[in-house]
Structure 1
């Protein structure tokens, strides 16, 4: 039976400009293409988990504009339950993204409707209680994130937090987090330690398990009372790295929900992320389970 994953987080429309090289401050460059994609860290993780084989429900908010309608439809088409995706008066969140020819990106997020997610409804609470796992990120107000993590902890639901965008986290949120998944830059921002191993060790004072994602180098897993494990990523040529971290988290959540051992789950999630960076867009680039399984088998 597929695990039930609930995602509380942002839902944005990604507005993506492709350029040979990203502009410096005060500089104007000519882009070669502009595209729009469904996005937002919450919605991205929901799509990634659903395509990886989990049963996924999304708690979030979109606006009354055309972007809101398009995003709801995109989530529905990816198999994500949107019954508790709210529609609020005003604009849907947007992410303004510049992608260079090396696949790197720079992003400005305008929260829009996401800013209304300051707490939980009774329906939200019931949905979280029914879940096997809760995914959280930080593109919505911190009050809403903390409320969800606390509710999950009270009802024995495993909570996975992606601390992005990076910010200092309140003790009550860390106390209710089971697995923290920062990238190496976020881990450094949280701890002051530039070395991922040192950062992971410091974070174990706050949460029981940590996965630090290392981009093309893979991921580092650390848990209290155990030796850290580094899992390499497949070597691929990146076209667009937007959403790669969310692909990794969503696929990892699906694998953990199925009870896979963590090193195996990390390798499978890295394969999913490697597939995603070879395509343009965030949610649009996320692979389906059959693709991940086939690529993982080919890597053996």
Structure 2
């Protein structure tokens, strides 16, 4: 089985459910508040593990109560947490507002994630021994770039989710094999609101791109070929938090198993469709048996 290494964030999601999100300077009354283990890195690790992958998590949690819960959540999903360090101080948090249409707005406070600034020998060895490396941009850019360059030097396929979106340094972009932005991130990175134009622009930086389009599906493009659109299953969304991370984690498992891109994308899309029909992030991610049956 291909090992998937995840170099990324762990956050406790503090989620407020409201009829509609407040505008600037406005106060609204919510109906429920939940704390749910999350963070883009941890979410992708849980998604991959539940989809049947062998996963190693590289990152940090704090010394607070959230840190213990975040570690336990990963371990319960079957993720190896030996390289998930404990840093003095608070864990990362994400403050999320989810409205009745399932849309969300998020503020992330890095906490312990901000202490992950460089890789030690153990982290480098784990990346070198993996078949795939998953990266996001919730850790300091220096360590994300170092992780990608370490993977490239050892021939490890690297998948980057450019969120929260920011310009990609050359050292990072040159080391990424597959970039998976959503349509807003793709537009921010390229200046193109049309997904096809954005994909073609991004191919100047990376060999392969998947742009996720929410309920409309996704667009795949590779150098030397025409972009291909894949529709998403039609479902009623309850909460879209974690859907993109579910897609990425599940896609990584499928690619690690040697599936073709169309088959892998279809399987990952089914997983994301299951995720949005449930509240929460990591708690809503489906297991392999559910994805296979959908």
- CA deviation map 1:92-125 (0-9, x unaligned): 0000000000000000000000001111010000
Is 1:110–2:85 an aligned residue pair? no
> 1:23 maps to what in 2?
22
Is 1:231–2:230 an aligned residue pair? yes
> 2:63 maps to what in 1?
64
Contact (CA 8 Å) 1:120, 1:147: kept in 2 or not? Answer: yes
Query: 1:256 aligns to what SS in structure 2?
Result: helix
> 2:272 maps to what in 1?
273
> 1:157 maps to what in 2?
156
> 1:195 maps to what in 2?
194
> 1:74 maps to what in 2?
73
Deviation at 1:227, TM superposition (A): 1.8
- CA deviation map 1:18-38 (0-9, x unaligned): 000101111111110111100
Quote the Cα distance in structure 2 between the aligned partners of 1:64 and 1:219.
Answer: 39
Q: TM-score, normalised by structure 1?
A: 0.97
> 2:217 maps to what in 1?
218
> 1:9 maps to what in 2?
8
Quote the Cα distance in structure 2 between the aligned partners of 1:62 and 1:152.
Answer: 23
> 1:257 maps to what in 2?
256
Query: 1:83 aligns to what SS in structure 2?
Result: strand
Quote the Cα distance in structure 2 between the aligned partners of 1:187 and 1:24.
Answer: 25
Contact (CA 8 Å) 1:60, 1:85: kept in 2 or not? Answer: yes
Query: 2:45 aligns to what SS in structure 1?
Result: helix
Q: TM-score, normalised by structure 2?
A: 0.99
> 2:40 maps to what in 1?
41
Structure 1 residue runs of 4 or more that deviate by more than 3 Å after TM superposition: none
Quote the Cα distance in structure 2 between the aligned partners of 1:76 and 1:261.
Answer: 30
Quote the Cα distance in structure 2 between the aligned partners of 1:191 and 1:19.
Answer: 33
Deviation at 1:16, TM superposition (A): 0.4
Quote the Cα distance in structure 2 between the aligned partners of 1:280 and 1:139.
Answer: 22
How many equivalent residue pairs?
A: 294
Contact (CA 8 Å) 1:229, 1:263: kept in 2 or not? Answer: no
Quote the Cα distance in structure 1 between the aligned partners of 2:50 and 2:91.
Answer: 24
Deviation at 1:228, TM superposition (A): 1.4
Quote the Cα distance in structure 1 between the aligned partners of 2:283 and 2:45.
Answer: 12
Deviation at 1:282, TM superposition (A): 0.3
Deviation at 1:229, TM superposition (A): 1.0
Contact (CA 8 Å) 1:240, 1:278: kept in 2 or not? Answer: yes
Quote the Cα distance in structure 2 between the aligned partners of 1:205 and 1:26.
Answer: 41
- CA deviation map 1:252-287 (0-9, x unaligned): 000000000001100110000000000000000000
Query: 1:140 aligns to what SS in structure 2?
Result: coil
Query: 2:193 aligns to what SS in structure 1?
Result: coil
Quote the Cα distance in structure 2 between the aligned partners of 1:218 and 1:264.
Answer: 14
